[in-house]
């Protein structure tokens, strides 16, 4: 137990008066007196005796502070029991309710609050301002009607519906928690089940075993003697080991039964709500008694009760004022590379709009200046009114053009992407291939805006334990001095009551059971080792109806304690004083626990100090080999044998621990424990001081032996990593294990192979680290491409410390890692994991990083990467909660990246480009028509049809495409890693791709304008010789735009379905009745034009010709891409199979021509062999499967 001794204090306090140690002149006399009182308490440990004076001093200060009559503003006063009910409502202090809410809105505030959020978005604000400009008659092109408001309203409405659905999910989750039941003491003296949301400050509650605490409580008693209870805080701090809490001895004495609770009334004075999880100070006043309170009596919301039937507590902090809520913070927002690039393109397009509007307005001013008579008579502009009027006219023209070209910025783009990503995230969450049968859990998505980022990953940073491995440990081998027991390939028969052990060694049981070894050193050493394993741990036994459950901080301890049980030393539990109980040969032996020096990532070891039955004080320490070896006595034996054992086990991929011990004299222990107790009470630098004190006692130890535990790989880990590497993704393993174990696991998971070339950086000296890196850099610069693929860098945590402190060394490491396909970082701490991710991310700006882990120690690494993936593992849910995507098995990463991520990148990239294209092809005719309208801002399209363009006529097909289109089947993606290359190299969305779409939009827009204009403008529609007007030609152009952009998406589909055909053709079909309905309104400028679309022969011919020409162009381009893709697949297959000879110039020429074409991008241009075929094979493979741009 991490805080065994500290948590027993108040129950052991004798009823003597509080003594002011600090203010008395007889401190030396008082301290022994207080300690003598403690020695008479049954079960008091040496820690209790040593720390007794300081505990008295702490209680004295607390009592003095809270016994004053005037309550400061920093103190909360609350009443409980009958005093709570007797207080008049007018004077009663009101506290926040216990209901918590993670939702952003309520049913009342949703509409105004969300509407405000929508209109303050940059794009929506832009369109809202333009709609206001439309209401100004002098510049409006819509007769003062804000026609933009209709599509803007639709976009905002869709966004609000999406936000409402997402927020409703949060509300349901909140309701589930807020409506949970808890037993609350009523005035009648009975407990009644009520909802958490109805809980109030001052209520007395009863919480039963395995239940969560509904609010922050002060513990006043429990079902266990002396008011002890055990709590699990993994939801708060990620720690799975159970912790002690203990009620104050005075409250335990006052409450012997539930009847006593009805008479238990008083006041609590405590600190104001704050976020400090482990600090609490207050006082409980009952009558004339003032009882000090500390963190030992604080039960936090979010933690749960274990190993205790029930507890009684008083509510002190509720709802938003509970410590877990005050520690809750919003995750750092992440923006995908595609999203950031899109924002930059929107700004450029907006600049283009401003420039085009300014040019058109200035052109109109020049024309007016040249033709003032026409301007005065036809346009009713009196240009001669003065210079000031000309500037006003320029401003009006500029504003009119701005309104004319408003659609060049896609109004529907952002909402389209939001809807698309949301549906894509739903499909990820519903993917049956990623469903875990064992846990019955689907994957989850917390950041759908990163969907396309999954298809662009360049680096993967992975934890090892629990991520690549199962985190289910099996005890395999044991070294006791020179003796070795067990084997890697051993298989043990099932033993009832024994888990996490696969240890087959007849020899060790012979030593323990054969009478001929009675009294021998071999038996004594084995027994001492078994006792060591049974004592040195932090496991707590939880008693349930189904039996006892061992709760441990890590699976390693379960394996070690089960191994001790197998060897005849069973951990039975702990008594109320915290002593460890061990069953030895049928009898229970008590080992008083004096101290626990806990494990952490810096110490990499843990120790316990216990008093043996012969009254000797022993320290047992287990940890990493380097940490133990540095602290051994000079005369310690077996070091060579144990090192060989650990190296051999490490080469087999086993996790090893070195075990050591020492005897401590009473004098040395008393002196050290006094210093340690002072360090434990330190306000500042407590952790550092405790580590320093632990260093003083963990020295001059004697090596006992070593253990070896197997952490098996998860299923399909090797295949998944091999596939990831073959896709060109660099894979890093970041682990706290030693180098040998990490290397062996890397071999097991196929990160390393027998052909791998390893570069090792393991020095602790900065100069040597630099030398090692420079040597590796020189070596790999001369490697061929094939040889470089087999290179792996191995670096230790000690070397990383030196690297991070030296910028010049850091830059060399970045150079090496940028071309290294595999990196293994050993002995790294959680902080170093995040530092590594940040190092790569900050120095390779164009690369996308992904971190994956399963434990609380991986959270920093997960949040540091562009994309964080959490695995719901045995180390709690912290990683999954902090991640952007949560899965249950590492193998599911393959589906997440190569199926969902790759396709999301392709679809979303196409969606963005298409949304801009369909607006550019709409706006270009309007801008180009300025040549004929003399820049007079003459509208070309009907206002209402124009506003419905992005919301009704062209939205549904692209949304369906972005969600359902499939370029390949799932099996193809999972079998051919090269299909990931285009998305990883941003070939589906980049600057070149975007502006190529803009180029197509410009020339196709000009075609749609010029052909109808020259075909119909000078040809009479009927025999009467009347020419078609601008309204008819403009809406013919609009009709062509609607048809062309919808057929373009139809051609782009890789797989057609009823939905794709229905929505695409339906968008075209629905346009005509809407056009007809608007055209029959006499007030519209297109009145009567609908019928002439089909009656006018030239109009029909124009429509057919333009649509066929542009559609044929798209068909030719799309089919050419697909045919060339198949040709290059065949070439690559022939090259791979060796069916092409070096003198085969045709294949070489084809490869060279296409690889050097500016429309293709080679993925690899590193050094190659002298063989032309080998050179072109690498180029062809790099160019395969990329779209011909």
Q: Residue with structure tokens 């241009």?
A: 1165
Gap between the Cα atoms of 353 and 347, Å rounded: 10
Pairing state between β 730-734 and 822-826 = parallel
Nearest to 564 by CA among 583, 547, 550: 583
Query: Do 705 and 735 meet the contact criterion of CB atoms below 8 Å apart?
Result: no
Nearest to 659 by CA among 607, 595, 700: 607
Token code pair at residue 837: 């991710």
- H-helix or E-strand containing 595? strand 593-597
DSSP 876-925: BSHHHHHSSEEESSTTHHHHIIIIIIHHHHHHHHHHHHHHHHHHHHHHHH
- H-helix or E-strand containing 473? strand 469-480
Please, what is the end-to-end C-alpha distance for the chain in angstroms?
64
Q: Residue with structure tokens 């991490």?
A: 2
Query: Do 296 and 9 meet the contact criterion of CB atoms below 8 Å apart?
Result: yes
DSSP 191-213: EEEEEGGG--TT-EEEEETTPBP
Strand order in the sheet with 587-591: 569-574, 580-584, 587-591
**216 tagged catalytic:** no
Q: Which residues contact 702 (CB under 8 A, 6 or more apart)?
A: 632, 633, 635, 636, 637, 660, 661, 662
Gap between the Cα atoms of 245 and 537, Å rounded: 19
Instruction: Calculate the CA dihedral of residues 509, 513, 515, 517 and round it to 10 degrees.
Output: 40
Scanning 1053-1184, the segments in alpha helix (DSSP H) are 1058-1079, 1089-1095, 1097-1137, 1145-1156, 1172-1183
Q: Check 6, 163, 216, 463 and give the catalytic one.
A: 463
> What DSSP state is assigned to residue 501?
B
Strand partners, 303: none
Nearest to 1114 by CA among 1044, 1183, 1024: 1044
Q: Residue with structure tokens 């998406």?
A: 1049
Token code pair at residue 325: 């809520």
Q: DSSP 3-state assignment of 733? A: strand
Gap between the Cα atoms of 855 and 857, Å rounded: 5
Q: Residue with structure tokens 């934890």?
A: 463
Nearest to 491 by CA among 479, 508, 474: 474
Nearest to 311 by CA among 202, 229, 225: 229
Of the CA atoms within 13 Å of residue 356, those in its CB half-sphere come to 24
Tell me how many degrees the CA angle 621-699-519 measures, rounded to the nearest 5: 55
Nearest to 205 by CA among 312, 302, 98: 312
Active site residues: 463
């Amino acid at each position: 137990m991490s805080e065994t001794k500290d948590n027993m204090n108040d129950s052991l306090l004798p009823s003597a008066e509080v003594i002011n140690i600090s203010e008395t002149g007889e401190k030396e006399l008082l301290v022994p007196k207080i300690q003598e009182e403690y020695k008479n308490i049954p079960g008091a440990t040496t820690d209790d005796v040593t720390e007794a004076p300081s505990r008295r001093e702490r209680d004295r200060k607390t009592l003095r502070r809270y016994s004053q009559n005037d309550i400061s503003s920093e103190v909360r006063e609350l009443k409980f029991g009958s005093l709570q009910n007797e207080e008049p409502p007018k004077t009663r202090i009101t506290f926040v309710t216990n209901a918590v809410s993670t939702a952003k809105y309520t049913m009342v505030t949703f509409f105004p609050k969300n509407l405000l959020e929508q209109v303050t978005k940059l794009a929506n604000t832009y369109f809202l301002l333009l709609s206001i400009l439309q209401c100004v008659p002098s510049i409006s092109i819509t007769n003062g009607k804000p026609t933009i408001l209709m599509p803007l309203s639709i976009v905002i409405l869709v966004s609000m519906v999406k936000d409402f659905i997402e927020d409703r999910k949060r509300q349901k989750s909140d309701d589930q928690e807020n409506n949970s039941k808890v037993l609350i003491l009523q005035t009648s003296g009975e407990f009644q089940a009520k909802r958490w949301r109805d809980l109030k400050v001052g209520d007395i509650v009863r919480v039963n075993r395995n239940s969560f605490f509904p609010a922050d409580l002060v513990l006043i008693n429990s079902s266990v003697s002396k008011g002890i209870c055990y709590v699990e805080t993994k939801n708060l701090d990620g720690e799975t080991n159970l912790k002690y809490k203990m009620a104050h001895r005075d409250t335990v004495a006052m409450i012997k039964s539930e009847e006593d609770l009805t008479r238990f009334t008083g006041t609590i004075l405590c600190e104001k709500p704050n976020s400090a999880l482990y600090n609490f100070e207050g006082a409980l006043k009952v009558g004339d008694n003032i009882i000090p309170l500390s963190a030992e009596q604080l039960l936090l919301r979010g933690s749960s009760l274990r190993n205790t039937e029930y507890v009684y507590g008083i509510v002190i902090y509720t709802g938003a004022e509970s410590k877990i809520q005050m520690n809750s913070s919003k995750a750092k927002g992440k923006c995908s590379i595609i999203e950031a690039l899109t924002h930059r393109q929107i700004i450029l397009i907006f600049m283009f709009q401003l420039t085009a509007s300014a040019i058109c307005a200035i052109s109109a001013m020049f024309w007016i200046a040249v033709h003032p008579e026409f301007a005065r008579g036809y346009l009713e502009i009196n240009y001669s009114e003065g210079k000031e009027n000309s500037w006003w006219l320029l401003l009006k023209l500029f504003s009119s053009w701005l309104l004319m070209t408003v659609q060049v910025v896609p109004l529907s783009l952002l909402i389209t992407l939001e809807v698309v990503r949301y549906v894509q995230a739903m499909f990820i969450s519903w993917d049956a291939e990623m469903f875990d049968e064992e846990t019955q859990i689907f994957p989850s998505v917390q950041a759908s805006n990163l969907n396309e980022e999954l298809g662009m990953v360049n680096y993967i940073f992975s934890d090892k334990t629990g991520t690549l491995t199962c985190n289910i440990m099996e005890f395999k081998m044991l070294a006791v001095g020179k003796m070795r027991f067990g084997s890697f390939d051993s298989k043990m028969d099932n033993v009832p009551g024994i888990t996490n052990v696969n240890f087959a060694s007849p020899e060790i049981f012979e030593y323990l059971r054969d009478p001929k070894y009675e009294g021998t050193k071999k038996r004594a050493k084995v027994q001492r080792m078994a006792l060591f394993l049974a004592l040195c741990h932090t496991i707590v036994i939880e008693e349930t109806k189904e039996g006892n459950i061992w709760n441990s901080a890590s699976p390693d301890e379960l394996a070690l304690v089960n191994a001790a049980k197998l060897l005849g030393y069973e951990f039975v539990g702990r008594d109320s004083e915290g002593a460890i109980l061990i069953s030895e040969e049928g009898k229970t032996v008590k080992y008083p626990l004096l101290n626990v020096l806990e494990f952490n990532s810096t110490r990499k070891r843990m120790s316990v100090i216990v008093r043996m039955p012969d009254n000797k004080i022993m320290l047992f320490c287990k940890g990493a080999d380097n940490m133990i070896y540095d602290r051994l006595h000079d005369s310690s034996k077996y070091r060579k044998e144990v090192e060989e054992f650990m190296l051999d086990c490490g080469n087999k991929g086993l996790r090893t621990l070195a075990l050591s011990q020492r005897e401590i004299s009473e004098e040395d222990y008393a002196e050290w424990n006094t210093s340690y107790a002072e360090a434990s009470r330190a306000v500042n630098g407590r952790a550092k001081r405790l580590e320093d004190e632990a260093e003083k006692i963990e020295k001059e130890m004697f090596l006992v032996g070593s253990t070896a535990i197997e952490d098996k790989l998860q299923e399909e880990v090797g295949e998944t990593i091999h596939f990831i590497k073959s896709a060109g993704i660099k894979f890093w393993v970041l682990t706290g294990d030693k180098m040998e174990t990490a290397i062996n696991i890397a071999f097991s998971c196929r990160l390393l192979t027998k052909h791998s070339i390893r570069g090792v950086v393991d020095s602790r000296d900065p100069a040597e680290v630099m030398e090692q890196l420079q040597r590796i850099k020189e070596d790999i610069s001369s490697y061929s491409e094939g040889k470089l693929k087999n290179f792996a860098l191995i670096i230790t945590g000690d070397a990383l410390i030196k690297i991070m402190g030296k910028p010049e060394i850091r830059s060399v490491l970045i150079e090496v890692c940028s071309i290294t396909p595999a990196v293994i970082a050993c002995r790294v701490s959680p902080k170093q994991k995040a530092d590594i991710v940040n190092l790569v991310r900050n120095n390779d700006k164009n690369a996308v990083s992904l971190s994956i882990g399963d434990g609380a120690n991986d959270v920093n690494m997960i949040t540091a990467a562009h994309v964080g993936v959490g695995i719901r593992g045995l180390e709690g849910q912290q990683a999954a909660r902090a991640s952007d995507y949560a899965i249950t098995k590492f193998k599911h990463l393959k589906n997440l990246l190569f199926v969902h991520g790759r396709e999301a990148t392709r679809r979303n990239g196409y969606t963005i480009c298409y949304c801009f294209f369909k607006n550019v092809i709409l706006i270009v005719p309007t801008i180009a028509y300025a040549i004929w309208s003399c820049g007079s801002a003459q509208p070309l399209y009907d206002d209402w049809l124009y506003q419905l363009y992005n919301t009704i006529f062209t939205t549904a097909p692209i949304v369906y495409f972005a969600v359902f289109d499939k370029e390949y089947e799932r099996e193809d993606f999972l079998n051919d890693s090269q299909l990931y290359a285009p998305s990883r190299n941003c070939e589906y969305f980049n600057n070149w791709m975007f502006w190529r779409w803009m180029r197509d939009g410009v020339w196709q827009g000009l075609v749609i304008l010029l052909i109808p204009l020259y075909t119909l403008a000078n040809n009479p529609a009927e025999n009467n010789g009347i020419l078609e007007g601008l309204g008819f030609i403009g809406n013919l152009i609009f009709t062509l735009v609607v048809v062309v952009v919808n057929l373009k998406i139809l051609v782009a589909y890789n797989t057609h379905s009823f939905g794709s055909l229905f929505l695409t053709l339906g968008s075209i079909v629905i346009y005509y009745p809407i056009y007809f309905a608007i055209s029959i309104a006499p007030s519209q400028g297109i009145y009567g034009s609908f019928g002439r679309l089909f009656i006018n022969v030239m109009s029909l011919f124009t429509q057919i010709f333009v649509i066929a020409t542009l559609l044929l162009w798209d068909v030719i381009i799309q089919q050419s891409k697909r045919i060339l893709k198949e040709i290059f697949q065949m070439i690559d297959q022939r090259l791979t199979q060796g069916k092409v000879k070096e003198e085969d110039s045709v294949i070489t020429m084809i490869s060279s021509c296409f690889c050097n074409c500016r429309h293709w991008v080679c993925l690899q241009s590193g050094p190659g062999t002298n063989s032309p075929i080998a050179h072109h094979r690498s180029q062809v493979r790099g160019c395969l499967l990329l779209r011909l741009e």
